[in-house]
A = this chain, B = another copy of it.
Amino acid sequence: MPVSNPMTLTTPSDREIVLTRVFDAPREQVFRAFVDPALVAQWWGPRGFTTIVDKLEAKPGGAWRYIVRGSNGKEDAFRGVFREVTPPERLVFTFEWEGLPGHVLVETITLEERDGKTTVTDTSLFHTPEERDGMLQSGMEGGASESWDKLAELLAQQG
């Protein structure tokens, strides 16, 4: 099945990665998928991985922690703290892979609705260009694209 709304990745500066995609759902529904633990567990992470939402306190100062488990049992954990939570339009939070502690980026997600569709823009601002380049080289683009495909499928199921 062709993907009608693929994710785009751009790098407007040497410390940023910007992901954008249009989802065929109102933004209240899309926003909920980012802050409801039961929903996040269904789409966050690449295909073939199981996601466990260990913590998700979507409020300023609240913590989040997700564990992604591969089919071989290997686990990776990611964590951060919410800085801003403005339903249904904006989320700002830190993001840290526990495998590289102390390397922290700030992710800003904005949701804009037009004609019942929602454009999600996800801007990651890294501390240094080297950390940004390391993320690009990690294969994150494929993983993020699969994750957002899963989100689109979840939204479609919710109808």
What residues of chain A have their CB less than 8 Å away from a CB belonging to chain B? 60-61, 80-83, 92-94, 101-104, 106, 125, 127-128
Contact = CB atoms under 8 A, between A and B. Distances in A.
A106 B125 CA distance: 14
Nearest to A83: B102
B102 A127 contact: no
A81 B61 contact: no
A111 to B, nearest CB: 20
Nearest to A82: B102
A102 B81 contact: yes
A48 to B, nearest CB: 28
A104 B104 contact: yes
B82 A106 contact: no
A104 B103 CA distance: 10
A85 to B, nearest CB: 11
A81 B80 CA distance: 13
B61 A83 contact: no
Q: Which of A60, A93, A94, A125 has the most CB of B within 10 A?
A: A94
Contact of A94 (B61, B104, B106, B125): B104
A80 B81 CA distance: 13
Contact of A102 (B103, B106, B128): B106
A104 B106 CA distance: 9
A83 B101 contact: yes
